[in-house]
Amino acid sequence: MTLHHPRLQVDPHQPMVVTADRTYTWGQVDDMAAQYRVKFNHLSKQRIGLTFHADGNGLATLSALQALGCNIFLLPLDASDDYLQDVATRFELTAIVKLPLDQSHEPELILTGVDASKSQAESGITILTSGTTGTPKAARHTLESLSKPTRVHESFLQTKWLLCYRPNLYAGLQVILQCLVNGGQLVVPNHGASPEQVAQLSADAGVQYASATPSYWRWLLTFAPKSILSTIPFKQITLGGEIVDQHILSRLDALFPDARLVHIYATTELGRCFSVTDKQAGFPSKFLDKPSPDGVAMKIENGELMVKSANAMLNYDPRCGQKAMQSDWCATGDLVKEENGRCYFMGRRHDMINVGGNKVSPVKVEETMMQLDGIDDIRVYARKSSIMGQLVACDIVAATGFDQAQLRQHLKAHCAEHLNDYETPQLIKFVQTIQTSAAMKKVRH
């Protein structure tokens, strides 16, 4: 695995990865990768699990296993032993390479008992899409397919990137690759870092580029001190993985007026599809007219976004039980409406709330409620009802200084004016933080 573009000359003494506890140079990571190629040589061309963290140790291990031609299954750093064993059994992994949480030790090798003869496979990087619960979908990529959307450009050379996504997921890998192919410096918060710690590390390291979900940005803007956030020299802020609403774009623009705001639409299976830089929610309808220069075509069928992508994965791993895509066109599950030359995301099809036969978009309800002052974050979701099937519920993080009782009354009046009765939340709860998944996306169920 080449950690930078072959045409670039990178000083081995230059910092490559910066954490709160340690800095790794390019030379140190290259040396560790060479050592791990020897240490793990017996795993060559096998199916291997890797609990991945993007510190120097983790990148060196990934590079070594890639060079050995392994099919690497990227797993959460904090995955439980039961989860690791289940994944190893389901996908016939010969071994799990387990990285330490505290960066203080070398990777630990755990043999799974799977016959190595059953584990032979073509090299690649396999991403599990369902986190640490449920039946995982395993999307198989090559380093080439993962790297295809990256851009090597003089504006990105030796720049500093903050990693906010989990590195075992597609979005995290994109940040890592975009940074490193340009010989940049990857700034990696410690696992479980607080918003203030993330902001302070970013300010100290002089981070210029950062990519995260809208939920992550709301979390950071709500709980990290503005006195620290305002000192981060952002050149570009990227949002992806969830619907990007106008409220979060406006908050980011107000705090970082000199930063370029980019909204990326990508999926694990389809790769990167498009980006928007006009600081407006949604995307221009003209994106539907013809394929992009990157070979991505889109259309809307029955209100759902369909995509045909040149950046797509190779296939699903056959052991995950997921059917292969039946055609070049893939149904994304994202509902879209076209209005006045712009397309707006209305939420995931399976997130729609069924209130007595009436379909409710949680995204529409959230956007309506966020029009009021006094709300830092909100989550709208379904609650079971014996009478209506489901009811609309919401959790709200109130802005500092706003009275919750008064805000509740304003919300009820606002919803009565702008929403149908069946769309209006029947259960309103004020919370300290919004529940998110391991990938920092809102939990709707």
The per-residue pLDDT for range 121-133, each reduced to its tens digit, is 688 999 998 543 4
Using DSSP bridges, classify how beta strands 389-398 and 260-267 pair: parallel, antiparallel or unpaired: unpaired
The per-residue pLDDT for range 81-104, each reduced to its tens digit, is 999 999 999 999 999 999 987 766
Contacts 24+ apart (CB under 8 A), 112-116: 112/85, 112/88, 114/88, 114/89, 116/46
Whether the pLDDT of residue 116 is over 50: the answer is yes
pLDDT for the residue numbered 132? 38
Whether the pLDDT of residue 31 is over 90: the answer is yes
Whether the pLDDT of residue 324 is over 70: the answer is no
Looking at 52-137, which runs of residues are DSSP E strands? 71-75, 95-98, 108-111, 124-128
Whether the pLDDT of residue 445 is over 80: the answer is no
Per domain, the residue ranges of the chain are 1-349, 352-430
Q: Does domain 1-349 have CATH number 3.40.50.300?
A: no
Helix axes 214-223, 195-205, angle to 10 degrees: 90
Averaged pLDDT, 279-293: 93
Q: Residues 109, 40: contact at Cβ < 8 Å?
A: yes
Looking at 14-123, which runs of residues are DSSP E strands? 15-18, 23-25, 47-51, 71-75, 95-98, 108-111
Amino acid in position 331: A
Supply the DSSP string of 211-237, one letter for each residue.
EE-HHHHHHHHHHS-HHHHTTS--SEE
Candidates 77, 100, 75, 101; CA nearest to 90 is 75
Q: What is the C-alpha to C-alpha distance for residues 26 and 321, in angstroms, rounded to an integer?
A: 40
Q: Residues 175, 211: contact at Cβ < 8 Å?
A: yes
Looking at 256-351, which runs of residues are DSSP E strands? 260-267, 271-276, 283-284, 296-301, 304-309, 315-316, 330-339, 342-348
pLDDT for the residue numbered 3? 56
Q: What is the C-alpha to C-alpha distance for residues 221 and 370, in angstroms, rounded to an integer?
A: 16
Q: For residue 144, name the pLDDT band (cuts at 50, 70, 90).
A: confident
Please state the separation of Cα 232 from the chain's center in Å.
21
| Percentage of residues in the chain having pLDDT higher than 90 | 77
Cα–Cα–Cα angle for 324, 241, 411, rounded to 5 degrees:
130
The per-residue pLDDT for range 33-76, each reduced to its tens digit, is 999 999 999 999 999 999 999 999 999 999 999 999 999 999 99
Whether the pLDDT of residue 6 is over 70: the answer is no
CATH number of 352-430: 3.30.300.30
Q: For residue 258, name the pLDDT band (cuts at 50, 70, 90).
A: very high
The per-residue pLDDT for range 211-228, each reduced to its tens digit, is 999 999 999 999 999 999
